[in-house]
């Protein structure tokens, strides 16, 4: 479920708010490009939580505004400034991209504006770069991946891995979490490959992976959105899915991607902190209401 943070005394560094003043929330996420579907889902989930409280809390109306960061750090910072300085929001939320999250860190800390990270796993923001103004309601990159590295070695019997993931903060931090435990257990990483975000043709990278068929056990992956769709489709087209099986971060084939990946996704396995088929009353209610 969702948590709404209240800052009754000091909000956005502007002192005690008048009782009748609305609470303004600015939401930053990508609505175009590679992760547009994730940005839309994140926004709609947030709005679902606001619907449940009728856009009111502590007797005050909630005003919700969105801005598109395009998955670009410089755009995200510009949009955050606009929300804070022009729209006078009290709280910032959202954020899909770890790179965008890092770009906002110094700004929100200086401005004393609470930032509620709903998705971006930017590890350092709740570790060495933590701030009293930054909150996380999801996960940190590397958490689930550390468990995945242990599982790959201890339960799947893998000893050699090829790694491929998007070349930005999340790809490297998630990969590092997996490699840490996998190597600690005694496993070997034989190749690391990091294509840029928005890659359309994965042929050169798939060719590198093909060199390890028969020599490595599994392929670890981290892609999202349209990148995940293209990679899964092209990996299957090159006939490598069965030759070097994928066991990695399962956001690769999450519910947002499967309709486009179709049969190309069959047989891919992995780990994830949440999936929509979790069989609990709370999740069934959430999923039903979200669909509606």
Look at residue 19 in the predicted model and tell me its pLDDT: 58
The CATH number of 143-271 is which of 3.40.50.1370, 3.90.420.10, 3.90.800.10, 3.40.50.2300? 3.40.50.2300
0.75 surpassed by pTM = yes
Look at residue 255 in the predicted model and tell me its pLDDT: 83
Do the two domains 23-136 and 143-271 of this chain adopt the same fold?
Answer: yes
pLDDT, one tens digit per residue, over 216-244 is: 999 999 998 899 999 999 999 999 999 99
Query: Domain extents for the chain?
Result: 23-136, 143-271
What is the overall mean pLDDT for the chain? 91
Low-confidence stretches of the chain (pLDDT beneath 70): 1-19
pLDDT, one tens digit per residue, over 183-205 is: 999 999 999 999 999 999 999 99
Look at residue 18 in the predicted model and tell me its pLDDT: 53
CATH 3.40.50.2300 for domain 23-136: yes
Q: Are strands 115-117 and 134-136 parallel, antiparallel or unpaired?
A: parallel
Look at residue 5 in the predicted model and tell me its pLDDT: 46
């Amino acid at each position: 479920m969702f948590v709404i943070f209240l800052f009754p005394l000091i909000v956005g560094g502007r002192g005690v708010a008048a009782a009748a003043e609305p609470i303004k929330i600015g939401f930053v996420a990508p609505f175009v490009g590679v992760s547009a579907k994730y940005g839309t889902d994140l926004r709609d989930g947030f709005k679902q939580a606001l619907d449940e409280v009728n856009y009111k809390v502590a007797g005050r109306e909630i005003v919700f505004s969105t801005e598109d960061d395009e998955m670009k750090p410089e755009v995200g910072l510009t949009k955050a400034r606009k929300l804070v300085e022009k729209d006078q929001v009290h709280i910032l939320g959202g954020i899909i991209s770890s790179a965008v999250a890092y770009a906002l860190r110094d700004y929100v800390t200086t401005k004393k504006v609470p930032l509620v990270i709903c998705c971006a796993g930017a590890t350092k923001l709740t570790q060495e770069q933590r701030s009293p103004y930054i909150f996380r309601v999801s996960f940190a990159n590397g958490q689930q991946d550390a468990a995945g590295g242990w599982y790959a070695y201890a339960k799947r019997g893998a000893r050699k891995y090829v790694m491929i993931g998007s070349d930005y903060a999340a790809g490297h931090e998630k990969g590092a979490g997996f490699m840490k435990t996998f190597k600690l257990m005694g496993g070997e990483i034989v190749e690391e490959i990091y294509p840029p975000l928005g890659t359309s043709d994965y042929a050169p990278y798939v060719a590198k992976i093909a060199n390890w068929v028969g020599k490595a056990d599994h392929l670890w992956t981290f892609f999202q959105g349209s990148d995940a769709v293209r990679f899964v489709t092209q990996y299957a087209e090159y006939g490598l899915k069965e030759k070097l099986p994928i066991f990695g971060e399962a956001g690769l084939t999450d519910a947002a991607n499967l309709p486009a990946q179709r049969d190309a996704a069959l047989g891919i396995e992995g780990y994830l902190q949440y999936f929509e088929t979790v069989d609990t009353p709370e999740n069934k209610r959430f999923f039903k209401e979200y669909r509606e």
